[in-house]
Amino acid sequence: MMRIWLLLGVLLLTFGACVPNKKLVYLQKDDLKRRKEIPKDTVLRSHQLNIREYRIQPLDILSISFETLSKQDDESDFLQKLSTRSNSGGSGGGGASGGALNGIVVNTEGEIDYAVMGKIKVAGLTLFEAKDTIEKVIAQYVPDVVARVRMMNFRFTVLGEVNAENTVVSGNTRLTMMEAIGLAGGLSELADRSHVKVLRQKGSEVDVFYVDLLKEEYVESPYYYVQQNDVIIVPPLKQRPFRKYFVGNLGVITTVISFGLFIITLSR
């Protein structure tokens, strides 16, 4: 009889450690409840995105290049010397890429400094605004110049219940929180998607806030997009200790209990 109760207890604990779909599926509404009723190839609803373009900060590293239709060699040589280019693109981990060493650093006053054009204020501008500002300055020296400005050290860190904790460097400054997590290998099954913590730097301050990735309405949040130097911390579900330590050692625990029961039976 005792063995039956023991077996029932083990089964109850095991099923109690299961994680339901409502804690795993991103951006839910009531779709999980009425899956069979949802029409296919039809837009169910639309959301207005709260897009916030990234604004350049001090100590950012920029890749700035110039192009012109001018056929004069001296002008082309001048622009070539001003240009900075990245040797490697895309995204990766472990800090800034080696190509970032070829960029131009925004100083602590938010300026980039050229030997001929002088200092240009770019902090607080979007990449497109910085492009227009630089083009206006260089137009005083070379006409019909197109500037191309890209971020080279847009980085964020993802920690906790993800499949690959990492500091990611991306050339894309408009990344959603889920894209950022995807670059870190995605969340584990035991991640608490409803209570993701984010640390966001603002000058000398750090803002702390939480986001719920399970709710569809999150796409309208002002925190839908990742910012430079964000630290994303994904906590575990309450089932994690049980799943990791108890279920993983269930065979050993069962053997020990069975052996104990066997000894008790013999002693009687």
In whole angstroms, what is the distance from residue 215 CA to residue 253 CA?
39
Specify the pLDDT at position 265: 66
Can you point out the beta strands (E) in the chain? 61-68, 92-93, 104-105, 111-114, 118-121, 145-151, 154-160, 166-170, 196-202, 205-211, 231-234
Do the Cβ atoms of 81 and 151 come closer than 8 Å? Answer: no
How does DSSP classify residue 23? G
Specify the pLDDT at position 220: 92
Specify the pLDDT at position 177: 93
Specify the pLDDT at position 69: 72
Task: With a cut of 70, list the residues of the chain below it in pLDDT.
Answer: 1-21, 24, 32-33, 70-75, 84-101, 239-268
Specify the pLDDT at position 252: 55
In the chain, the percentage of residues whose pLDDT exceeds 90 is 37
In whole angstroms, what is the distance from residue 113 CA to residue 101 CA?
16
Both structure tokens of 181: 């997590």
Q: Note the pTM of the prediction, 2 decimals.
A: 0.72
Specify the pLDDT at position 9: 52
Specify the pLDDT at position 92: 47
